[in-house]
Amino acid sequence: AAKEQGKNRWARYADDMDVRANEHARLGSELRQALKENQFFLLYQPVVALPGGGVSGVEALIRWRHPERGLVSPAEFIPISERNGMITEIGAWALREACSQMVAWQREYGPTAPGKMSVNVSARQLHESAFVTTVADVLRETGLDPADLLLEITETAVFDGGAALETVRAIHALGVSIALDDFGTGHSSLSLLRTCPVDVLKVDKSFIDGVTGTAEQSAIATAMAQIAQVMRLNVVAEGVETEAQAERLHQLGYPLAQGFHFARPLPPQDVENLLIIQVDNRGRPELTARAS
Ligand code: C2E
Ligand code: MG
Ligand code: MG
Ligand code: MG
């Protein structure tokens, strides 16, 4: 009976896997349609200066409003789009949308506009040499100054040296800044800093979670702030959820932070409201907005 039960459990497991595989296949084929029918949109999460909380930049984060499923997380559909190649077009769409939003904010708010627009780029995009042309085209078409664009890549995308690293170098040569996202969770973090042009480290939430804990729990976040300092890199603490963490990160020398404590990823209108508050308070905004 135990054997029988084991078998059933395995059969159920295999069925679950089939269901998930089918679901992924279906989502995959819907991605093209989604692009055509404007089902993607971007939210923008502020990156703020410590300790005051002024908006220093924003990170564009994609969302998919699926006609039947509702909101689908990028954690679900970006990996699928990487496997079926749709990331090339989706990524180009996100880049163009984010850059034109940034130019619109600069026209409307001048010096109060966010200083930098961050856009996430996946490994597969970097492995296509045409991506450099896409970036150059988008900058030209939107008129965005390359210095106002920050592309977020992961260590894993470039650690093996090859074509992806060449792409990053070519993009950097355009004047675009490069951030290493989820820093510390990928491969060969430190040696990469010698070969890859990097301007910003984004220290992963998993290291930030411990900053108010013991010396051991906060050791890596502490070390990363020091590495950034000696290497003259900018550094952002990701996933800051409490005031105590924000205070501690400021003490550790983090100039910038991002997280639900300051603001969630917001629709453009909510970012604009923050910019307006910022002007009213002469650069000392209370970043308490919570949305979506
Ligand atoms: P990421 O680039 O590391 O983005 C940070 C993620 O952490 C976002 O999730 C954000 O909503 C979430 N987050 C921010 N602050 C906090 C916090 O205080 N607590 C917690 N628990 N989470 C926080 P999101 O928007 O679901 O995006 C997930 C990932 O999907 C991103 O991770 C990025 O790797 C990818 N992604 C998003 N948009 C794009 C895109 O346009 N292109 C590509 N290639 N990837 C994207
Ligand atoms: Mg990111
Ligand atoms: Mg990140
Ligand atoms: Mg992360």
Distance CA 50, CA 256 (A): 6
Distance CA 59, CA 150 (A): 9
Q: Which atom of ligand 1 is nearest to the CA of 98?
A: 41
- Under the banding of pLDDT at 50, 70 and 90, the label for residue 20 is confident
User: Is residue 13 scored above 90 in pLDDT?
Assistant: no
Q: Does residue 259 have its Cβ closer than 6 Å to ligand 1?
A: yes
Q: Which residue has the higher pLDDT, 3 or 285?
A: 3
User: Is residue 256 scored above 50 in pLDDT?
Assistant: yes
Say what the pLDDT of residue 9 is: 74
State the sign of the Cα–Cα–Cα–Cα dihedral 207, 147, 101, 68: negative
Distance CA 287, CA 224 (A): 26
Which residues, including other chains, have CB under 8 Å from residue 70's CB and lie 6 or more apart? none
- Under the banding of pLDDT at 50, 70 and 90, the label for residue 287 is very low
Within the chain, what is the greatest distance between any pair of CA atoms?
A: 73
pLDDT tens digits, 29-58? 899 999 999 999 999 999 999 998 899 999
Ligand 1 atom 8: residue of nearest CA: 61
Distance CA 239, CA 257 (A): 8
Beta bridge partners of 179: 152, 200
Which residues, including other chains, have CB under 8 Å from residue 259's CB and lie 6 or more apart? 205, 208, 237, 238, 239, 240, 241, 245
Q: What is the mean pLDDT of the chain?
A: 91
- State ipTM: 0.98
Q: Which atom of ligand 1 is nearest to the CA of 125?
A: 44
DSSP assignments along 56-84, one per residue = EEEEEEEEEEETTTEEE-HHHHHHHHHHH
Say what the pLDDT of residue 10 is: 67
Cβ-contact 211, 252 below 8 angstroms: yes
> Which residues hold their Cβ within 5 A of ligand 3, which is an ion?
181-182, 238
Distance CA 188, CA 245 (A): 27
**What is the average pLDDT across 158-164?**
87
**What is the average pLDDT across 197-215?**
96
**What is the average pLDDT across 266-289?**
74
Ligand 1 atom 17: residue of nearest CA: 239
User: Is residue 87 scored above 80 in pLDDT?
Assistant: yes
Burial class (CB in 10 A: 0-12, 13-18, 19+), 91: buried
CB count, 10 Å around CB of 33? 10
> Which residues hold their Cβ within 5 A of ligand 2, which is an ion?
120, 152, 181
Burial class (CB in 10 A: 0-12, 13-18, 19+), 70: exposed
Residue with tokens 């404007």: 38
Which ligand minimizes its atom distance to the CA of 152? 2
Residue 281 CA to ligand 1 center (angstroms) comes to: 29
Q: Does residue 74 have its Cβ closer than 6 Å to ligand 1?
A: yes
Percent of the chain with pLDDT over 90: 77
